[in-house]
Amino acid sequence: KEGYPKNSEGCKITCLFNDPYCKGLCINLSTQADY
């Protein structure tokens, strides 16, 4: 869990690489307003 970005931008970047840890967060971010 350490070393993984928890903010939206960082999560988007890891999501592009299909990061398994950030995948769930990316789904939540996609349902929220993207800024």
What is the predicted pLDDT for the residue at 6?
A: 58
The string of pLDDT tens digits covering residues 1-35 is 455 555 556 566 656 566 666 666 666 655 554 44
What is the predicted pLDDT for the residue at 35?
A: 43
- DSSP one-letter code for 20: H
Q: Diameter of the chain by CA atoms?
A: 26
Phi-psi group of 18: left, alpha or beta (phi > 0 → left; psi -120 to 50 → alpha; rest → beta): left
